[in-house]
A and B are shown apart, each in its own frame.
Chain A
Amino acid sequence: MSSSTPRLVRTAQSDPVPPAADRADPTGPADAAGPTTPRTTPNENGDPGRTGTRARPDVAGRLFAMTATGAGATILVVLAAVAVFLVLRAWPAMTASAEELSEGIQWFPEGQTLLGFVGPLIFGTVLAAVIALVIAVPLAVGIALFTSHYAPRRIASGLGYVVDLLAAIPSVVYGLWGVVWLAPRLYPVWTWLADNLGWIPLFAGPASQPPRTVMTVGVVLAVMILPIITAVSREVFLQTPRLHEEAALALGATRWEMVRMAVLPFGRSGLISASMLGLGRALGETMAVLMILSPGFTYAFELLQAGRHQTIAANIANQFPEANPLGVSTLIATGLALFVITLAVNMAARWVVSRRKDFSGAN
């Protein structure tokens, strides 16, 4: 339609006919789904009052369509530009040797290549995001079910709005809250974990005090990604075909059985994509990590020990303000890695969502 519509207007203006003749036709372009309409009604829209200014609407219409298309294309251009400029600025670091990097950058670990530097950062980023996901997904499913199937219908949307409020809070405030309020309250929990479940390598003690650990970060990130996972899964749960639910209930299922047999299977792919969207958020979160985590650059699975992990985003925010040109370039290279990871996660999530549309023919 994008190309056919201006043509439609132009033909209409260059070939004016008595307006009475085409009263029925102009509904054509509004039925945008019908691709044949411009062909069949080439002589519509004869504007009797403005036949004198024939050429102008044509130009304006075409200009408008081009502006709109340009704005749409801008989005693709911006996304491409993000990749291009990051590569451009990261190039000096990507081509520099290990010696150049460790000599040129004060905080660069001795004798490491760029990959060796990025590796632990990617590990820390993924670790923190996965912890957040493990905590947030079951909770989000519960909340989404509560607002979609358990809460009284009248207050359900209001309750959903309450959870959405969590999304409105700036990340820097989450960081402040995490350090000052949450971390001291989590410390007893982490000590308990280390004392009683310390035989699991993940919870090996001693739990650090103050608990500026990846586990605390995971909890804060879980709170931050809770709204998006909840919102998406709630939408999916609400889309469960009523007939499926009623069929389950008619067969004598209790409410939970109905949820387990009808709602959850229907919403599974939606839930997966919601989790991946949450994962994408958690991977890129900066401020909360920067303010809470005590950084370290190792591949350590000890979640309760501080000074072992660091995420890409927090590392960038931490080093960027005082970095020299080569340091900036290195940081941008790590940012590029983060961009690629989140892009892959998000695209996979969106792909699952779009694939799901075919599935939902059930209703």
Chain B
Amino acid sequence: MATAAPTTPAPGTGNASTRALLTTADTRRRLTDRAMTVVVSLAFAIALVPLISLAWTVVSNGIGRLSPYFLTVSMRGVFGGMDAGGIYHAIVGTVLVTGAAAVISVPIGIMAAVYLVEYGRGPLARAVTFFVDVMTGIPSIVAGLFAYALFAVFFGPGVRFGLVGAVALSVLMIPVVVRSCEEMLRLVPNELREASYALGVPKWLTVVKVVLRTAVGGIVTGVMLAVARVIGETAPLLVTVGVIDSINTNVFEGRMMTLPVYVFRQYAQGLVPCTEGATDCIATVNIDRAWAAALTLILIVMALNLLARLVARWFAPKAGH
């Protein structure tokens, strides 16, 4: 690389200049180095722009309408530019649909991870590993279409209820759960398994009582991160669960509102045409509600993320033994 620098110092030159020659690059190379340091740091700074602006926009636009009232009422009977309405029905829907998705995907995900770590050998295990990775790349809307197509076979076209959305979310959630659980199970030291076998415990009991129990912290973290990932999914729920203005707590029947879909729906309704001088009509009420719901959604996602990291930290010393 050193095109300009002579490879051997002339005999008799001072020790200091030899040292300088050996330890510093020539000006052009040094400047390139500096410039690239600036460019690389700048790239990081640029990445912070959307993050900060996004956080600021959502908080400043959403905080105005976010109140206990907003969190505890539904949109039933709310129309026009009324200064009313909230997201209770959407929160209920999100919790139920995401919960159902977790109920479906967590057992499958954990058992698949157990299979990969403890039992899996040969072509099937290789195929599962490969396709878990591929499955993480399924577009969310395709997962929604799949769930719709699956249930439409049994319930006819136009099927929309909570469980369909839960199945769609499971398709997205299972690979995430498998990935994180697999990583956690691999972290369990082999000595623990060996000690258990040495005590005469059969393999399956070792897995249940030793391996899974040791990794429980990591598994909980992984599941929470997976939930945080799917809780914000909009597109699959738009095509499978639909929209509704009132509270529905039955995942097996009827449309449900969910928080991300609520955000989209309120945004899509746009400005309200208010008559001149109307006191009880706010033109931007729909957008305001969208921002407030978006803020709630982000807070939930961030809380889940934070909680997951805390759980990971609480359990971390155990895994480190």
Contacts and interface: CB of A to CB of B under 8 A. Distances in A.
Interface of A: 1-2, 5, 8-9, 12, 19, 23, 26-32, 45-48, 57, 60-61, 63-65, 67-76, 78-79, 81-82, 85-86, 88-89, 138-139, 141-143, 145-147, 150-151, 159, 162-163, 165-166, 168-177, 179-182, 223, 226, 230, 251-257, 259, 261, 277, 280-281, 283-287, 290-291, 313, 316-317, 320-321, 325, 328, 331-332, 335, 338-339, 342-343, 345-347, 349-350, 353-354
B102 to A, nearest CB: 15
Given A65-B204, A170-B297, A335 B142 contact: yes
Nearest to A58: B202
B301 A65 contact: no
Given A5-B119, A30-B190, A317-B239, A281 B263 contact: no
Contacts of A332: 145, 148-149
Given A162-B48, A172-B264, A173-B298, A64 B204 contact: yes
Contacts of A139: 43, 46-47
B96 interface: no
A284 B267 contact: no
B200 A30 contact: no
Contacts of A72: 111-112, 115-116, 120, 124-125, 128
Given A85-B149, A321-B242, A173 B134 contact: no
Interface stretch (B52-60, B80-88, B311-319): B52-60
B133 A89 contact: no
B95 interface: no
A338 B263 contact: no
A328 B54 contact: no
Contacts of B264: 172, 175, 287, 290-291
Given A27-B194, A68-B111, A325-B157, A75 B232 contact: no
Interface of B: 1-2, 5, 22, 25, 29-30, 32-33, 36-37, 39-44, 46-48, 50-51, 53-54, 57-58, 61, 107-112, 114-116, 118-122, 124-125, 127-128, 130-143, 145-146, 148-150, 152-153, 157, 171, 174-175, 178, 190, 193-194, 197-205, 207-208, 228-229, 231-235, 238-239, 242-243, 260-261, 263-264, 267, 287, 290-291, 294, 297-298, 301-302, 305
A313 B194 contact: no
B40 A146 contact: yes
21 contacts: A1-B121, A2-B120, A26-B199, A47-B200, A57-B202, A57-B205, A61-B202, A67-B111, A69-B119, A71-B108, A71-B112, A85-B149, A166-B51, A168-B229, A170-B294, A172-B232, A176-B291, A255-B37, A284-B139, A317-B239, A343-B134
A136 B157 CA distance: 40
Contact of A177 (B32, B39, B57, B261): B57
Contacts of B109: 71
A231 to B, nearest CB: 12
Contacts of B116: 72
A85 B141 contact: no
Nearest to A57: B202
Closest 5 CB pairs of A and B: A284-B139, A142-B43, A170-B232, A71-B111, A346-B137
Nearest to B23: A252
Contacts of A57: 202, 204-205
A79 B135 contact: yes
A68 B46 CA distance: 45
A78 B135 contact: yes
Contact of A68 (B118, B229, B235, B298): B118
Contacts of B152: 89
Contacts of B130: 350, 354
Contacts of B153: 85, 88
Contact of B33 (A19, A142, A180, A257): A257
A230 B34 CA distance: 22
Contacts of A150: 37, 40-41
A257 B1 contact: yes
B141 A338 contact: yes
Contacts of B194: 26-27, 30
A170 B302 CA distance: 11
A36 to B, nearest CB: 14
Contacts of A328: 148, 157
Contacts of B131: 75-76, 79
Given A142-B39, A251-B1, A332-B145, A177 B197 contact: no
Contacts of A12: 202
A188 B119 CA distance: 59
Contacts of A256: 32-33, 36-37
Given A30-B190, A71-B115, A173-B297, 14 more contacts: A9-B204, A29-B203, A64-B207, A68-B119, A82-B171, A170-B301, A180-B287, A230-B47, A254-B32, A277-B137, A317-B141, A317-B238, A332-B149, A343-B137
